[in-house]
A and B are shown apart, each in its own frame.
Chain A
């Protein structure tokens, strides 16, 4: 009985804390565009749209245990769908979103079929080839895509009633789409379908014995993932108002994957952290030197992987683990530990810097996530 009471208590506390976090995040998100300069608002908008692409990639890589080096191509497909619709058919922005989403879903479905037979490096290669071959194709299809000159289309314009500036309006529209997308991904994962996906990742053979239909769930994971990338691409066109084949080279695919791993695989808010990393690190390091972005980006990835092998999202848990081991009294721990929902700029506590070599204890859930990506799933020895 007592345990039931305490369980209910912690459940209520957890729910309260979750509600508070959501309200605070919503308030902060609503306040931001009125506080920052237009360029900074634009950067935040980009973070949000990258987060959509990363959460899609997360479905496939983090939760599905597959790998894709071709998500930049799905992103490009979404972006070009929107651009062509706006340029040739003048459909209005809103109509482009469902078309880009549906188109990329089908494209992903098509890629999901070979993904059933390939895994690890082979799947990476096939998806990479898609990312490599798409930009030249876009250049070739000049009548439709504008060739290497690209297409310039109208950006999102704020309606008169809103009284908002262009950057603010765009930010809010992207915020809404991102929220919906992240909610969809979360719902998907917290269901029978999500569990099936995770089970396939952890042990394909056992999952199948439990009745999970391998082909269905693996292909659909690919399709959802591609759809999210396509939606992000569509938002990109809305925000930037310009697409060209060179914006979507295969480097974009690699950047997306790197951002996801840095942000935290198989974490629900890892994509947001990863998106901030992808967006801000190059632009901040640009101020140092012309050639700095690449170098800094690479070095930071190495540093993050060293300090937090489970990504930025896994950092609070690791820090908590380290703190708990340094200070045996649990009372001292909470105020030194960042909240799980901490913003991306939460610096690692000094403890993390002190002991990057310390391996987390067996009870630390973070360790469990540190599986190499694309490694063949462990299967029962038959």
Chain B
């Protein structure tokens, strides 16, 4: 489904990603781990066209993703969440989710200003869909509140709801349980597992919480200093000496 090949990104003198390659099969969940600064988020940014790699290719279902303009990525069925939340603080929770459905709407400026019947219909549909998602994720009570000022755990779910509103086939989660309490991590993992099933999602997850990654993912890719140092099933990765070294250092 997703094939990343030889991707290289340089920021000035620093090589953030150095020839990273891996594939994601449809319906699987791939974990992306590595110490801070390993290039995980940079890789995500390449996949969503937030940053242009200096070399390499990214193909999504055979299509060259790097040739698309940034706003067209959502249309292809790719959604993501952000590491430190990328919500719209002054919009309500429902509006946030409705922005997620932007690429599925057709209303243009003129039609919107005249509020043609088809605009009303589309608004109603998008609103109903958003409300369904909010109910599904237990957010119906906060639908009309502005996104700023809600608890962090709730905002994480709002962001997930917004990403789901894109109707993605590939969902990229950037540190989804970062900053959550121990109990919340478990709940969030259950939630991700159930929406993955219901919405038939392929997942790529960046996360430091090993319990979360190992419990969710079918395959784990480990990066260190922009290089792929290991790839395999979660159990293999946990035993891999290179991964252990990268995380804990090596005994002298």
A: which residues have CB within 8 A of B? 184-185, 187-188, 190-196, 198-199, 201-203, 205-214, 220, 224, 266, 362-363, 365, 368-369, 371, 380-382
Alpha-carbon distance between A381 and B175 when the two chains are bound, in angstroms: 13
Contact (Cβ within 8 A) A369 B109: no
Chain B residue contacts of A199, Cβ below 8 A: 88, 91, 99, 102
| Sampled A-B contacts (10; CB under 8 Å) | A184-B113, A187-B114, A191-B123, A193-B107, A193-B109, A196-B99, A205-B50, A209-B73, A210-B102, A368-B149
Alpha-carbon distance between A365 and B149 when the two chains are bound, in angstroms: 10
Task: Pick the most buried of A187, A206, A212, A381: most chain B CB atoms within 10 A of its CB.
Answer: A206
Top 10 closest A-B pairs, CB basis? A211-B103, A211-B74, A206-B86, A202-B88, A191-B112, A192-B105, A187-B115, A213-B71, A193-B112, A192-B107
Contact (Cβ within 8 A) B99 A209: no
Contact (Cβ within 8 A) B88 A203: yes
Chain A residue contacts of B88, Cβ below 8 A: 198-199, 202-203, 206-207
- For the complex formed, measure the closest distance between the CB of A31 and the CB atoms of chain B, giving whole angstroms: 28
Q: Which of A185, A195, A208, A382 contacts B91 (CB 8 A)?
A: A195
Task: Pick the most buried of B51, B91, B113: most chain A CB atoms within 10 A of its CB.
Answer: B113
- For the complex formed, measure the closest distance between the CB of B142 and the CB atoms of chain A, giving whole angstroms: 11
Alpha-carbon distance between A196 and B83 when the two chains are bound, in angstroms: 22
0 or 1 for each of B83-107: is its CB under 8 Å from A? (1 = yes): 1101111110001001110110101
Residue of B nearest to A194 (CB): B112
Chain B residue contacts of A198, Cβ below 8 A: 88, 90-91, 95
0 or 1 for each of B37-57: is its CB under 8 Å from A? (1 = yes): 000011001001011000000
Judge whether B146 is part of the interface by a CB distance below 8 angstroms.
yes
Alpha-carbon distance between A202 and B162 when the two chains are bound, in angstroms: 15
- For the complex formed, measure the closest distance between the CB of A267 and the CB atoms of chain B, giving whole angstroms: 12
Alpha-carbon distance between A369 and B91 when the two chains are bound, in angstroms: 10
- For the complex formed, measure the closest distance between the CB of A310 and the CB atoms of chain B, giving whole angstroms: 12
- For the complex formed, measure the closest distance between the CB of B41 and the CB atoms of chain A, giving whole angstroms: 7
Judge whether B166 is part of the interface by a CB distance below 8 angstroms.
yes
Contact (Cβ within 8 A) B112 A192: yes
Alpha-carbon distance between A358 and B166 when the two chains are bound, in angstroms: 41
Judge whether B119 is part of the interface by a CB distance below 8 angstroms.
yes
- For the complex formed, measure the closest distance between the CB of A225 and the CB atoms of chain B, giving whole angstroms: 12
Contact (Cβ within 8 A) B50 A382: yes
The residues in B between 62 and 95 inclusive whose CB is less than 8 angstroms from any CB of A are 69-75, 79-80, 82-84, 86-91, 95
Residue of B nearest to A266 (CB): B90
Chain B residue contacts of A213, Cβ below 8 A: 69, 71
Given contacts A205-B86, A368-B149, A382-B42, 13 further A-B contacts (CB under 8 A): A184-B113, A190-B123, A191-B115, A192-B107, A192-B122, A195-B99, A202-B87, A209-B50, A210-B166, A224-B113, A362-B149, A368-B148, A380-B83
Chain A residue contacts of B117, Cβ below 8 A: none
- For the complex formed, measure the closest distance between the CB of B103 and the CB atoms of chain A, giving whole angstroms: 3
The residues in B between 164 and 220 inclusive whose CB is less than 8 angstroms from any CB of A are 166
Task: Pick the most buried of B51, B112, B146, B148: most chain A CB atoms within 10 A of its CB.
Answer: B112
Chain B residue contacts of A369, Cβ below 8 A: 90
Alpha-carbon distance between A380 and B83 when the two chains are bound, in angstroms: 8
Q: Which of A190, A210, A363, A381 contacts B149 (CB 8 A)?
A: A363
Contact (Cβ within 8 A) B146 A368: yes
Q: Which of B42, B70, B107, B146 contacts A365 (CB 8 A)?
A: B146
Contact (Cβ within 8 A) B113 A210: no
Residue of A nearest to B44 (CB): A382
- For the complex formed, measure the closest distance between the CB of A193 and the CB atoms of chain B, giving whole angstroms: 4
Residue of A nearest to B95 (CB): A195
Contact (Cβ within 8 A) B84 A381: yes
